[in-house]
Amino acid sequence: MTPSVVLVGPPGAGKSTVGALLAERLGTGYRDTDADIERTAGKPIPDIFVDEGEPYFRELERQAVRTAVAEHPGVLALGGGAVMDPTTRALLTGLPVVFLDVELADAVHRVGLDAPRPLLAVNPRKRWRELMEQRRPLYTEVARAVVATGGRAPAEVADAVLEALGLPAGPTPDITQ
């Protein structure tokens, strides 16, 4: 079984938040390759970057994406940099991949400046912009649909993803709870 939705995008795009909502709407499970990597490595991602370095992390990430794509039938969020790997991009061909797009100002507002994200540790605004310049063509290349997240609440983004993929909208969430 392959995923019903694969979410890609930079830190702050809302992959985890929207992914969990989508899973609820679709009555399926949510999985995040960053969490898979942390479980496999037995430590947080920033510690992997410090102890073993980014190339080692990217190898763990390549394996984590391959495993999750092969065995997870629900909603799958990939780490922000997973699409840099050509093998991973090839693996995503034909899958219902959605690029959650976000502008710098929204991303900075959402993720803050103190989150433990190793690639954004120094000068996060500049680094985020550079990463997005490098990666925007790659997110776009792997995506079946691009969904803008600016000015939309997570539930509205989830609706837009379902519509873009032609998936049933599912039960309306009970906002009284």
Ligand X SMILES: O=C(O)C1=C[C@@H](O)[C@@H](O)[C@H](O)C1
Ligand Y SMILES: Nc1ncnc2c1ncn2[C@@H]1O[C@H](COP(=O)(O)OP(=O)(O)OP(=O)(O)O)[C@@H](O)[C@H]1O
| Contacting positions for ligand Y (CB under 6 A) | 9, 11-17, 34, 80, 110-111, 117, 149, 152-154, 157
| 152 binding partner (options ligand X, ligand Y, Mg ion, none; Cβ < 5 to 8 Å by kind) | ligand Y
3-state secondary structure at position 40: helix
In this complex, which beta carbon is closest to ligand X, that of residue 3 or of residue 162?
3
Cα separations (Å) of 119 from 13, 80, 133, 140?
A: 15, 10, 14, 21
Quick one: which of 3, 9, 11, 12 contacts ligand X (CB under 6 A)?
11
Which residues ranging from 80 to 99 are in contact with ligand X (CB under 6 A)? 80-81
d(Cα 169, Cα 161) in Å, to the nearest integer? 10
Please give the size of the binding site for ligand X, defined by CB under 6 A: 10
Q: Maximum Cα–Cα distance for the chain, whole Å? A: 46
| 149 binding partner (options ligand X, ligand Y, Mg ion, none; Cβ < 5 to 8 Å by kind) | ligand Y
Helical packing angle, 54-71 and 33-41, nearest 10°:
120
Q: Counting contacts by CB under 6 A, is residue 9 touching ligand X?
A: no
3-state secondary structure at position 144: coil
Q: Counting contacts by CB under 6 A, is residue 19 touching ligand X?
A: no
